[in-house]
Amino acid sequence: MAGRRAADATADPAADPTADPAVGPTAPATAGGAVRPDLERVFRTSYPRVVGVAARVLGSRDAADDVAQEVFLAFARSAVPTAEAPGWLSVAAAHTALNALRGERRRTRREQPDPAAVQTAPDAADVVVVAEDRRRVREAVARLPRTQAVVLVLRHSGLSYAEVAAACGLSPGSVGTTLRRAENALREELDR
């Protein structure tokens, strides 16, 4: 453990998209770029969950696949013990997806589309309303405090309270409280 912390201290957090105090920075697991021996097994068992968590945040399977690729690359470089991989990957997926969402929001602000160029078919009005509602929810989630956003995303991605607690380093009893606060904060953000 002390070796892992020492290795973590030398990791470049700017190069690690999953670096977050809740997840912890990754550290090189192997010298010389060798592949972790458990990578394929962990990938096969955890990929659907990682994509599910990311898709819940981003609302897009394609974007979720991109996030999953980034998360598994970070995992491949990490020294995360195999037993901790499912929780670590879930939290990393939530953080990476939230980062992608925030980056997309910034990019969208910079590249404001010409309103005259946006065309919607009249029969697609319902689709537009639904898409707008989803966009508002995703943006509101992105404005929540990080722990609340992650707990909310993981719980609504199907993880149990115990799994969320293990993934986020929380006590199982505090997950419900954090989740309620996150839901209340989300309602307030949506009512703005």
pLDDT in tens, the chain (192 residues): 333 333 333 333 333 444 444 444 444 445 456 788 999 999 999 999 999 999 998 888 999 999 999 999 999 999 999 999 999 999 999 999 999 988 887 777 777 766 665 555 555 777 777 788 888 888 899 899 999 999 999 998 888 898 889 888 889 889 999 999 999 999 999 888
CA dist list (Å): 83 to 33, 62, 129, 134: 22, 28, 43, 34
Closest CA to 176 of 165, 187, 188: 165
